[in-house]
Amino acid sequence: MKNTMRTLLATALVLGVAAGPSVVPALASTAAGPTGGSASVNTTPTAAPAEVPAAALEAAIAGLPTADATAALVRVGGTDGVWRGSSGVHDLASGRPADPAGRFRAGSVTKVFTAAVVLQLASEGALDLDRTARSYLPELIPAAYAGVTVRQLLNHTHGIPAPDFPGSTVEEWYANRFLVHDPEDMVRSATAKKPEFPPGERQHYLNIGYTIAGLLIEHVTGDSYEDQVARRILRPLGLRDTYLPGANPRIVGPHNHGYQTMTLDDGTVGLRDVSVWGTTDGWAAGDLVSTTADLERFTKALFRGRVVRGPLLEEMFTLPPVTAFGSGDPAAYSVGLSMKRLGGREVWGKTGGRWGYNTAIASTRDGSRVLVYSVNSTDAKGSDMNQVALNLMVAAFGRP
């Protein structure tokens, strides 16, 4: 029934969406704001100027829009102090300053919310992290993946490959941006292939584990994934500007436009407005829409044990003792989060990327410094980290 309703809703929404903007001004001709100058950095004073690197943070987002980013929204909090900043433009056509309260696509930051719901259900005894996914979904998970546990879905050690999608380039993805992807079909596509490795032996960061986790949430609760996230996290924390869009390809409410570099209709390479784009391929792994204020509130609550309570919170701060599939590097992903050493200390968090948008939440374990940003990247989902986003991470925490 949930799949039928999801498909009907998707069809209704997509039929109401136009083909999207056909003309995007060239960045070089629209970098100037309404008065002719480049968009300035808007900041608020820090609560502890000696602790928060305000000058470095301001420098990290100065001069937008640039070739690789059109806007940036940043919040730094924690016991070290507070800093708020925004830069760039709301859209290239008008050159209006970026809205610091604007909503954006948070991409894989969604996984933190999904993991938190699963851990809550585990604490309630509704599911067991050590039970296999197939024991809950026997008609969906085939025997070839009978040994994959719920925990392995969440820490990317399951060995299930990615599903097939139509297209492999940004231009092909754009042409198919309104396709509605059913989560069960994505799981069938992935599990029809051979395992990449035996479960628990390697780590490979992919969305598919969280797609299955979303279906597990629906199975054990008899409710939709979206309703469970709202009931367990969004409403209790007062995250009023955060929502899961389903099949609606538009960002509801105020938002800064996202642009992506790609080959245009005339054969030239330029920027296309990609603000309207379906996210059903991400679903429980990557479809969240939020704001920096909401994500900062969520991150602080999570790290303080207000979202996942008790010993199960440590699952989010425990890296599996395996190496990465392909590279052989030590595992970098826990349940929901990832860890990097920056400035000589452990920084835990999650990055996310959707076309036109890069997002991150990051914090020291003790909450002394929390960083949340949204960068409207023109190279989102690229092989390398967006330079503005990288500069922000280094400014906030230090170099690796």
Task: Give me the chain's average pLDDT, please.
Answer: 90
Average pLDDT over residues 66-77: 97
334-353 per-position pLDDT tens digit: 999 999 999 999 999 999 99
From the list 286, 279, 299, 291, the residue with the least C-alpha distance to 364 is 299
Beta bridge partners of 348: 339, 363
Q: Scanning the structure block, which residue is given the tokens 């030590």?
A: 330
Supply the pTM of this predicted model: 0.91
Instruction: Indicate the length of the chain as a whole number.
Output: 400
More confident residue, 351 or 18: 351
Give the pLDDT band of residue 4 (cuts 50, 70, 90): very low
From the list 270, 93, 284, the residue with the least C-alpha distance to 174 is 270
Cα gap 241→357, rounded to integer Å: 17
pLDDT exceeds cutoff 60 at 1 = no
User: Could you tell me where the beta strands, DSSP code E, fall in 15-172?
Assistant: 42-44, 69-77, 83-88, 104-107
- Name the residue ranges covered by the structural domains of the chain: 2-397
Cβ atoms of 346 and 400 closer than 8 Å: no
β-strands 69-77, 83-88 pairing? antiparallel
CATH classification number, 2-397, choose in 3.30.465.10, 3.40.710.10, 3.40.50.720, 1.10.10.10: 3.40.710.10
From the list 276, 241, 239, the residue with the least C-alpha distance to 101 is 241
Contacts of 290 (CB under 8 A, 6+ apart): 103, 104, 106, 109, 239, 241, 242, 359
**What is the DSSP-derived secondary structure letter of residue 231?**
I
